[in-house]
Copies of this chain bind each other. A is one copy, B any other.
Amino acid sequence: MSMPDAMPLPGVGEELKQAKEIEDAEKYSFMATVTKAPKKQIQFADDMQEFSRFPTKTGRRSLSRSISQSSTDSYSSDMSALISLRKRAQGEKPLAGAKIVGCTHITAQTAVLIETLCALGAQCRWSACNIYSTQNEVAAALAEAGVAVFAWKGESEDDFWWCIDRCVNMDGWQANMILDDGGDLTHWVYKKYPNVFKKIRGIVEESVTGVHRLYQLSKAGKLCVPAMNVNDSVTKQKFDNLYCCRESILDGLKRTTDVMFGGKQVVVCGYGEVGKGCCAALKALGAIVYITEIDPICALQACMDGFRVVKLNEVIRQVDVVITCTGNKNVVTREHLDRMKNSCIVCNMGHSNTEIDVTSLRTPELTWERVRSQVDHVIWPDGKRVVLLAEGRLLNLSCSTVPTFVLSITATTQALALIELYNAPEGRYKQDVYLLPKKMDEYVASLHLPSFDAHLTELTDDQAKYLGLNKNGPFKPNYYRY
C-alpha cells in the first residue's frame, strides 16, 4: 500500500530542519548501562560467538529453518548485531510491559527483530506494510512462536487494512508503542482509534514516506506523541545509500541485462550518497562515468573524484547506460530518450518512479517488448531499442537483493529507538519528531563491528580530557559529516 509513488515530497532539507536532537548522552539510562559495563561487554562477545557456532539450538530451530529456506545469505552471522543486543539486554528486560504494534515487511530479518523485542520483554502484534512482500513461512513460524501476526503474501487492499485493524483493535490489549514503516499503521490509528494515542509512548518510523507524514502532522500541530525518525540516522543512511547502492547497481544491471561494465559510457544523474555509491562501483569496474548535478558542492566533489560534470544533453547521444539518483522528477525526459543510441539501458536508483518520465513512452508510435522480468525494450519506429529496467521503479529494490547486513543495521536501529522512547523519562521527548541520538547511532555501529573482527581503540582518561569528550561517546558533533 503506502503512499502513491508520484506524490511530491517537499525538500528533504525542510523536513530535517525540524528534527529535534537530544544531546546529553548521560540522560539515557539504557545507554549508560550498556556503555559503562566493559566486563559484561566481554561476556557478550563470548555469547555471540557461541551463537554463531550453534545456530540451530533448541527453541530457534523452526524459525531458522524457515529463514534458511528463504535466504542463503549468511543469516546467522549477518544478524548477529541484533542477537548481541538481545543477549546484552535481556537480563534487564528494557521492554518489559511494552505492547508494540508493528507494521513492516515480514521477512526472516524482521522475525529476528520481533524475537528480540519479545526477548526484551515486549508483547507484539504485527501486520505487513506491503501486500506482496510477506514471506508466508516466516509469518507461520512467528505465529507458531506465539506472536500475533496478520499477514500473507498477496493480500487485497481490504485484507491489508483488515490486518492492520486486527493488530490495533483488540479487547483487553492496548498498544503503547508503534513501529511503523510507511505510516499506514499510524494513519489508521489516527483515523479510527485516536484514543489509543493516550497510551502510546512513542512512534518509531523508518521510511522516507512515513517520516514525511510525521513531519506534516507535526507542522499541523496534530502529532500527539513523540516520534523517532530512524530513517535519517547516520549509520542507516550510509548503508541504505552509499554502501548498499555501491553493490546493488552492479547486481541489478547484471541480473537484468548481463551487460559488461568495462569500457561502457555511463551517465549518473545526481551525486548524492546514492550516486556516489553507483559511481565508485562502476568506475572500479572500468566504466567511464559522467555526472549531472544541480548542487555546486556535490558537483565539485564529482570533479575531485575524477568524473566529468556535464549537462545530460551533452552526453545523451553517446552513453550506454543512464542511471538516475536525484530524488527529483522528470530528470530523464522523452526528449532525452529520443536521442539515446540503440541498446541504451535506462534505470532508476533514486526516488520512487518519478525520475524517468516513463509515461511519455506510452505512446502509439513506440512498441514495448517485454524480454524478461523487469526488462522492457521500448522500440522506436526506426528500430532503435531503449532497454528500460523495472519500468523506472527503483532498480535495487526491483532487480537486486538487499544484503541481510543492511537490514540488520535498520532493525537494530529500530529496536534501540523503541527502547529509548519507551524508557525515556517524562519530558525528555515532546510531541515532535526526533533524530536518533548520536550516541545510539554509535552504539548501532559498534554492535556491527564484530562481524568484521574490527577492534576499537579506547581513549585514555588523559586523551578524553584533552579532547573534551566522554570516553564512551558521542565522539562527534551532531552535524559532523562522516
Contacts and interface: CB of A to CB of B under 8 A. Distances in A.
Contacts of A469: 11, 13
A468 B14 CA distance: 8
A74 B371 contact: no
A330 interface: yes
Counting chain A residues whose Cβ lies within 8 A of the other chain, the interface size class is 35 or more
A257 B375 CA distance: 23
Contacts of A257: 72-74
A282 to B, nearest CB: 9
Interface stretch (A176-184, A310-318, A416-424): A310-318
Given A296-B449, A303-B452, A9 B467 contact: yes
B468 A10 contact: yes
Given A343-B76, A457-B312, A261 B247 contact: yes
Contacts of A468: 9-11, 13-14
A18 to B, nearest CB: 10
Contacts of A74: 257, 259, 320, 342-343, 345, 387
Contacts of A452: 263, 300, 303, 308-309
Interface in A305-336: 305-312, 314, 318, 320, 327-331
A224 interface: no
Q: Which of A259, A262, A481 has the most CB of B within 10 A?
A: A262
A404 B371 CA distance: 16
Contact of A305 (B256, B273, B286): B286
A384 interface: yes
B456 A299 contact: yes
Given A263-B304, A328-B463, 10 more contacts: A17-B478, A68-B371, A234-B481, A296-B443, A297-B442, A299-B454, A309-B449, A309-B456, A329-B462, A330-B460
